[in-house]
Each structure stands twice: as C-alpha cells, then as structure tokens.
A and B are shown apart, each in its own frame.
Chain A
C-alpha cells in the first residue's frame, strides 16, 4: 500500500523542495517506485530542482482539470530508476488545487507507486493544506532559528488537527523533524539553535540534520537532487535521513560543510553500514 509523505514547514525557503527532491531520489534508489509532486502552484520549482523543466508538457493542474491523463503529465527521471516527477502549473495559482481532483490523482497514484512525496508550498493556506491533507507521514523541515521553529510548530499543529486522518479520527500523521541548513560554527557561537533546543520545542522524532552546504546550490543549478552528489555532506546526510525513514538505526553525525577527505568519507560509509 502506498505511503503519502508531505514535505512541509510553514516557513518559506528552509529547504522543502531540496528535501523533497533528495528524499524522492533516495527512496527510489532503495528500490521503491516513487513519485514527487509539486504543490506550489504558480511558483513551481520542483521541476528545476529535478532537472526536468525542459520536458514539462502537461502538469498536475491539467490532470486535475481533466485536460490530460496522469501518465501524460508524469515525467520519468533519467538518472534514477523508478523515480517520477509530477510538475505543477506556473501560470495558475493555488485555487486551481481542487481537493476532489487532488484526491483523485493521489488515489490513482496510490495504485502504482510505493511512495508519493508531496512538495508543499510555504505558508498555512490552501496550497499547504492541500499538500498535507492526504498525507500518511510528514517531514517538517526546520532551520535552526526561532522563526522557522515557530512556524514549524504551527504547521505541526495543523498537521495534527486538519488532515483527513484527523478528521476521520484515524491514526494521526506520523511526523518527523528534519533540521536543514545546520551550520556547526554558528551553532557553537550561539548564533543558531542547537539540535536539543529545537527538539525540545517541537517534541517530534528527529529524522536527520542536514548541514549547510554549498553543494545544495550547485545541485539546484544543475538540476540534480543533492543526494546524488557523493562528495556532498548534505547529500550524505540526506542518505542517512532516508535510511532512518526506512527503519534503519543510524547515528546522527553532525558535520561541517565537507567531509575532511576521501578516507574520512570512506570511514563514514563503512561505519554507517555496520549500524
């Protein structure tokens, strides 16, 4: 049975799309047929981050409106087997997300896919609510600073009370925190919040800590999910996060921007596998 995962945050610019792309690619690489959907109607970015912006013909809104079939809109990723992208419209806006249509599309995707990753827009209005309404799990992306934590907390409250699972009194959405843009130096200088402080405020299990890394910008410039970059500390952290999501017990490694050398990278990988 497919699992619907929403990548959300409340605050804008914290790394939802980066995470959605990395997560979807990571899940697909582990052999799960995965689709990642862009819910940010009008300000779409997922197609850029996934590197398929030049192959978009039909989009999510077209499918909702019946102007195209789902398999006409889905774009196969060329690098990772089993990874698909459902881009959204750049010309419409979030009112085009009719819940009936969204439910129908997700229902259809549930039949063929193992994981459906929903890249939520920022905010708590209709777009973000549409993205989380049908979710089974949620990754709440948070930067280590107060306003992001505050907004994440608000979003967690909404996930707990306004999802379809909440309305039907079913088992609630399984929620996780993913800390992104974690800058070790700034944390030790007291400029950024520590992991423990964030978790104390949000009171959710920690999926991972993604370090601030230049490789993220490079990844979005080249349209490659950062998890596919073997030399990136952020990419490696995403791999750990995906591993934890799939049930592996992995130690949290908080690192700076680059692993110190090839040998360090090798050591890390060996150690990780034995966990």
Chain B
C-alpha cells in the first residue's frame, strides 16, 4: 500500500487520507501529541430534585423561598433537577426565565427529568441537561416500612411535602426512614432529610444514603453514605461490618482500606477532622 502524503509534505503513514485538511491559522495542530489534559469519568452524585406541581402559580417562588429558608445551608448553590412528571402534557414555562429565577434563590438548575417533548426542547433551549427517566417510589401502606426499587429513592413516612424537607446540618434526623426488608443488590435507599434505619441485611451491591445517620441492625455488605448533605457529625452504625464502601459527608473509605480487626464486628463509624474513625459499639 502506498503511504499517503499530506500537502505539508509530512509522511503520516498508511491511514491518512490523500487530501489532509490544513489547520486554520491560529488552530492548535498538536492536540493528539500533547499529554492527557482531562479524563472522562462516571460518577454517582446525589442531586436535589424539585418536583414541579404548579410552576406557573404566582406563589411558586415565594413558597420556594420559604422552603429554602427552613434549611438554607442545604439549598445554597445546590444543583437541582426539575422533575416534570406532574406537569408533562402542560406547556412548559419560559425555561430560561424560570432557571434565572431559581438562580436568584441561589439554586443551580442542571436539568430536567420526566418531561414530554415540549419540556425536553425547552430545557435544551435553556441550556439545561436531560436526566434519564425515573419515577418516585410509592409509599407502602405499612407505616413502618419504606422500600425502594433499583435506582429509586424511598421517602420518609412523614406527610408528603412538595419541597424537600431536610434536617438542618448538625441535628440528628428529625424524620427517620425505617426499612425492614433486606436491601438487595442494585437497590438504593435514600432517607431524605433524616436518619436511615435498616433492620435487615444489606447485600453487596446495595446502597444506603442519608443526610443523617445510617443504622444497620444487621450485616452491612453494601455501600453506606451518611451525612450526604455535608453533615460531618453523621455516623454509620452496623452489627456486622463488611461494607464495600462507607462515607460521611463525602469523605469515603473503601473495604480494602478498612482495618481487618473491624471486619464482621459491631462498629460505629464517624468522621474526626478529615479521617474516618471506626470504633466498637458498646
């Protein structure tokens, strides 16, 4: 096979097309040769979701302002996903203006979820992203059980409130979510605004999240994230420590880094300065 030669006279090898495009003046021509300037990674983030019910009501933003005032730390600069499940089918508001008013409240709208085509287009036009479809889990009738399906979050058993109602940072959870069934691989339970109490085993591949503490009165083999709103005082408690990963306020520790003497034991896990500390439960 003949080597192709570009018009600059440099032999680039067999795969170059016969007519190479000359870089325009000012363009960088060594992008492929320079060292790696970024890496693309996948990450799991916990985002506040604002479920829209009456976004056009003139009382919407005042009511939102009140909700934010109840827990200002939690909402400040929070990335927010707009869930359009309840309003899909109705024409969307002016998304750019809506987003601007959210930013006035120091929320950062990042995307739209569960909208129809009109909503999707409005979101894209306003520079928002699209989140994959999801549906909120239904609350089970049994009072003391909240259970999630894969990738879905459970709500606390408290009366429903359109805005998120978190516990202020530093206080223990006011509303505790109690789970009595085993949490299986692929399931994710998020106790919004409070503590999470699990009375059954948590399998490898399962994930627990809470703004407050995470209590597992059984074996913990999955992942547990406490204090996800930034609460460094949150703790994790379990009867048998086999977690794949634990984190408090974002500071995480993987199983491989856990001292062997804690494996299988009844422990409490807390954050002291920037370290994760594990102690035996009394």
Contact = CB atoms under 8 A, between A and B. Distances in A.
**Do these two chains really belong together in a complex?**
yes
B141 A169 contact: yes
A160 interface: yes
Contacts of A201: 201, 203, 221
A contacts with B: majority SS? helix
A166 to B, nearest CB: 8
A236 B140 CA distance: 41
Interface stretch (A38-46, A149-157, A207-215): A149-157
Interface in A145-171: 150, 153-154, 156-158, 160-162, 166, 169
A203 interface: yes
Interface string B189-219: 0000000000011011110000000000001
B185 A161 contact: no
Contacts of A169: 138, 140-141
B79 interface: no
A132 to B, nearest CB: 14
B149 A154 contact: no
Interface residues of A, number: 14
Nearest to A124: B186
B182 interface: yes
Contacts of B200: 203
Interface string B155-192: 00000000000000000000000000111111100000
B184 A154 contact: yes
Nearest to B200: A203
B140 A157 contact: no
B240 to A, nearest CB: 10
How many residues of B sit at the interface, in one of the four size bands?
A: 20 to 34
Nearest to B183: A157
B149 A162 contact: yes
A157 B141 contact: no
B53 to A, nearest CB: 23
B178 to A, nearest CB: 17
B185 A154 contact: yes
Contact of A157 (B138, B186, B221): B186
A123 B183 CA distance: 20
Contacts of A157: 149-150, 183-187, 203, 206
A219 B184 CA distance: 34
Interface in B206-246: 206, 219, 221
A150 B205 CA distance: 8
Nearest to A204: B182
A162 B221 CA distance: 23
Nearest to B218: A203
B185 to A, nearest CB: 4
Contact of B150 (A150, A158, A200, A203): A158
Nearest to B140: A169
Contacts of B221: 201
Nearest to A162: B149
Contacts of B141: 169
B182 A203 contact: yes
B205 A153 contact: yes
B195 to A, nearest CB: 23
B251 to A, nearest CB: 27
B205 to A, nearest CB: 7
Contact of B201 (A150, A162, A166, A203): A203
Contacts of B203: 153, 157, 201
B268 interface: no
Contacts of A154: 184-186, 205
A166 B147 CA distance: 11
Contacts of A150: 185, 204-205
B185 A160 contact: no
B277 to A, nearest CB: 28
A199 B221 CA distance: 14
Contacts of B185: 150, 153-154, 157
A153 B148 CA distance: 15
Contacts of B148: 161
B147 A161 contact: yes
B231 to A, nearest CB: 28
A156 B205 CA distance: 13
B14 to A, nearest CB: 39
B218 to A, nearest CB: 9
Nearest to B182: A203
10 contacts: A150-B185, A156-B184, A157-B150, A157-B187, A161-B148, A161-B150, A169-B138, A200-B201, A201-B201, A203-B201
Q: Which 6 A-B pairs have the closest CB atoms?
A: A157-B184, A161-B149, A154-B185, A153-B185, A153-B203, A203-B182
